[in-house]
Amino acid sequence: MSTSSSPGAKARIPNPALEPLEFLVGEWRTEGTHPLVPGEILHGRTWFDWHEGGAFLVMRSEVDHPQFPDGLAIVGSSDSGRAVMIYFDERGVSRIYEVSVGDRSVAWRREDPDFSQSTTIAAEGGRLVGTGRMTDESGAWVDDLSQVFVREGPEA
């Protein structure tokens, strides 16, 4: 029987496989573009926070435009090093992405016959640059939401 004050308390520790994502943690102001709204700059915010002591990474995002949903995602990993993101948004859309982690970069991708997507976010100086791609009706890869992230708050 556990003697800790709440169930699972001992497991609320940093996940070593996710530690390279520390560069994302914080609140970010975003500006982006999307081919659905050519010529418009899309403003928004994204937050990355550790969950359960670092066992998982949580992303919350919003774009100040009615065509783009607010979303939530949780990133975790397996013992084998496989990382995944589970995404959910205000439309009720839920997706699973494969995640790969590089040197101050992260990418997530999902392959689906109806609609595939990939996003890469990389640190460039004091900001992040995110590039999105998606498949169109023909299955060809085209531009998706691409954003520049500028840190807000005390570390800005």
What fold does the segment set 13-152 form as a domain?
A: Lipocalin (2.40.128)
Residue 154: the pLDDT is 63
pTM, entire model: 0.90
Of the candidates 87, 32, 94, the one whose C-alpha atom is nearest the C-alpha of residue 65 is 32
Q: Per-10-residue mean pLDDT for the chain, 156 residues long?
A: 72 93 97 96 98 96 97 95 96 97 96 95 95 94 97 73
Collapsed DSSP state (helix, strand, coil) of residue 104: coil
Q: Where are the domains of the chain?
A: 13-152
Cβ partners under 8 Å of residue 155, min gap 6? 26
> DSSP string spanning 55-79?
TEEEEEEEESSTTS--EEEEEEE-T
Structure tokens at 30: 């975003």
Backbone angles phi, psi at 134, to 5 degrees: -150, 165
13, 51 contact by CB (below 8 A): no
